[in-house]
Structure formats: structure tokens, C-alpha cells
A = this chain, B = another copy of it.
């Protein structure tokens, strides 16, 4: 019963097969191979427009490189106060941007809202040399708290950013879960709503280590390739990152697998909702459940073999915990967990 994170799980068999197919013979290195080109084409189909796409091997690299490409050292990046880029990347965006400022904004359920974004922006005067200059808005989809922005919500936030001359980045480490949840087109959830660049995650949903930075406007990619190289993220045998993405995108498997994870999270949430003393903290839009558990229950679940993270210190006899489901989480684990929770 591992609910620690979706990255605790492994790799799809289809991806392993793709790696094996890609393994023999010489091909051009550093991304000049046919598979890498095909991934860009496939992503163009997914998003219903031509894109510039660059495979990388970690979500932190995807985020930091995408943001740095769009944000000067004297820029400011606006994001939710609990965004992964703000709290879980050990300052990678600051390193890659050479010292830009991340401005964390509070918002319920992990989501930014227009009014607070406007307020935050009002403290950064345009052209005032003492203030970092607003350069990027970064939204996480699905959010760190398991919720999902609607296209309308994204549109409203992106419009504010664009009005201020900023670019809009989406941290899509769990983009598959978000899109499976929304049921809209990939286009509607991204560029049509104002997203300029997307960290398209595949690792958490079953790749080995593969993400793509997807620019929806070629001009925005600017010096991305040099930044990727200089950061040690241009890998020589790129075909093996691309092979993962290629298999990942085939036949909409990525959405089906994400839908499985979402469905299990929903089951988990529904189950917990009927347990005495348990309170869900956020809507379960994607593949993560946040719940306040009585400390005695949490202890009992762990003793029963469940693994999950506390999402803060205990408070008044209960603790907020996070439970993440993945493409490979067995439904039996969810059923067993819920049964165990209800068993007293």
C-alpha cells in the first residue's frame, strides 16, 4: 500500500519495449535522431499546433530551464506559495535564472486566483529598478494539492500575466492527470487558455525519466538549447529519452493510465469520506487525496502496511496526510486501505 508518490512506481512495459527497440545500431547523438523529431511531431498532434519540444530527464530541469528561458536574472516569477518550484526544488529556478525572485502567493486548494495575483503584482513596479520585474507566471496543473484548474481559470490568470507583459509557464509534472480529469482537449487546457510553455511530465505517469519542455510559440524558445547544454541536460543518447516519450504518447495510453490513477484517488477519497473523524482537505480532482486523519488512525494504517506522507505537523490530535495514486497502483491497495481505515 504505497501512496507516497506516483514517482515511487516504475515504468510501463510499452516503454521498456520502446527502449529495447531503440537500443541497437548507431544513430546521431544529442537529439539529432529520428525519434526525437518524431516526439516533437507527436506533441504537435497532441496540442493541435506546431510546437518546439525539448526532452529532458527531470521535472526540475524542465521547470527551471523553461522558466529561465523566459525570465531574466532581474525578473520575478509568480507562483502559488506551495508550488513545487517554490518549495521542493532546492532553489533550482533561482539557480537557472541566475537569481530571479520567486513570489509565492497564497490561494485555497493550491490554486491561484486573479485578485491575489493582481495584489502581488501591484508590489512590483514596472520599470522601477529596485524591484525585480514581473516576467513569468507559473501554474501547476494538476496542483500540488491535487486540484485542477479549469481552462476558464487558467485563461483569467494568463490574461492578467499577459497584460503585464509576462509569459505563462505550466508545471505539468502531472499534466496527464489534469487533462484526464478535465476531459477537454490538450489545446484547450494550455495554449488556447494562454499557456506559453509547458513542462510536459511523463515520469510520474510511467516513464523512466522523461519530460518535455513544450513551447507553443517557437520564438519563446530563444536560447533554450544552450541553457540545456550548459546545465548538463543535453544527453548524448537522446534517443532513449525520446523513445520513452514516443511510446508514452502512442494511442492516448498516457491519458488512459492517468485516468486509472485518478479513478483510484477518487475511490480513496470516497472511502475515507465515510470514515469517522476523517476530513478531506481539498477536492480530489486528480490523483492525490489530502485528508485530515486522527493520529490514532494514521498510526494504525501505517502499522497495517500503508505508506504515505504527513503534509505538516500534527495539530490537535490529527494530521494532514497526502495519498497519491499512480498508473500502477493496484486497486486492491486502495480497497485494502479503505477497509483498514473503516475497520474500527
Instruction: Indicate which residue in B8, B61, B131, B209 contacts A90 across the interface (CB closer than 8 Å).
Output: B131
Known: A233-B232, A240-B208. A129 touches B30 (CB 8 A): yes
Closest-by-CB residue of B relative to A104 is: B104
Q: Is the CB of B133 within 8 A of A226?
A: yes
Q: Which of A79-94 contact B (CB under 8 A)?
A: 87-92, 94
Q: Does A58 contact B (CB under 8 A)?
A: yes
Q: Is the CB of B98 within 8 A of A95?
A: yes
How distant is the Cα of A90 from the Cα of B100 in the complex, in angstroms?
9
Q: Does A28 contact B (CB under 8 A)?
A: yes
Q: Does A227 contact B (CB under 8 A)?
A: yes
How distant is the Cα of A20 from the Cα of B235 in the complex, in angstroms?
21
What is the distance, in angstroms, from A17's C-beta to the closest C-beta of chain B? 9
Q: Is the CB of B99 within 8 A of A91?
A: yes
What is the distance, in angstroms, from A237's C-beta to the closest C-beta of chain B? 6
Q: Is the CB of B203 within 8 A of A74?
A: no
The prevalent SS among residues of A at the interface is loop
Q: Is the CB of B132 within 8 A of A90?
A: yes
How distant is the Cα of A214 from the Cα of B94 in the complex, in angstroms?
27
Q: Is the CB of B89 within 8 A of A209?
A: no
Q: Is the CB of A7 within 8 A of B74?
A: no
Q: Does A185 contact B (CB under 8 A)?
A: no
Q: Does A288 contact B (CB under 8 A)?
A: no
Q: Does A57 contact B (CB under 8 A)?
A: yes
What is the distance, in angstroms, from A91's C-beta to the closest C-beta of chain B? 5
For A313, what are the chain B residues with a Cβ–Cβ distance below 8 Å?
122
How distant is the Cα of A64 from the Cα of B28 in the complex, in angstroms?
24
Known: A10-B237, A223-B72, A235-B209. A90 touches B230 (CB 8 A): yes
Instruction: Indicate which residue in B16, B87, B129, B230 contacts A74 across the interface (CB closer than 8 Å).
Output: B230
What string of 1s and 0s marks CB contacts (under 8 Å) between A123-156 and chain B? 1000001111100000000000000000000000
Q: Does A181 contact B (CB under 8 A)?
A: no
Q: Is the CB of B225 within 8 A of A237?
A: no
For A229, what are the chain B residues with a Cβ–Cβ distance below 8 Å?
60, 74, 89-90, 92, 129-130
Q: Is the CB of B99 within 8 A of A233?
A: no
For A88, what are the chain B residues with a Cβ–Cβ distance below 8 Å?
130-131
Please give me the 7 A-B residue pairs with the lowest Cβ-Cβ distance, nearest first: A61-B232, A94-B99, A74-B226, A95-B99, A2-B26, A7-B236, A60-B232
Q: 16 more A-B contacts (CB under 8 A) besides A57-B57, A91-B230, A99-B230? A: A7-B236, A10-B22, A10-B237, A11-B240, A23-B208, A59-B236, A73-B226, A74-B90, A89-B130, A89-B232, A90-B132, A94-B101, A95-B99, A97-B99, A101-B102, A203-B236
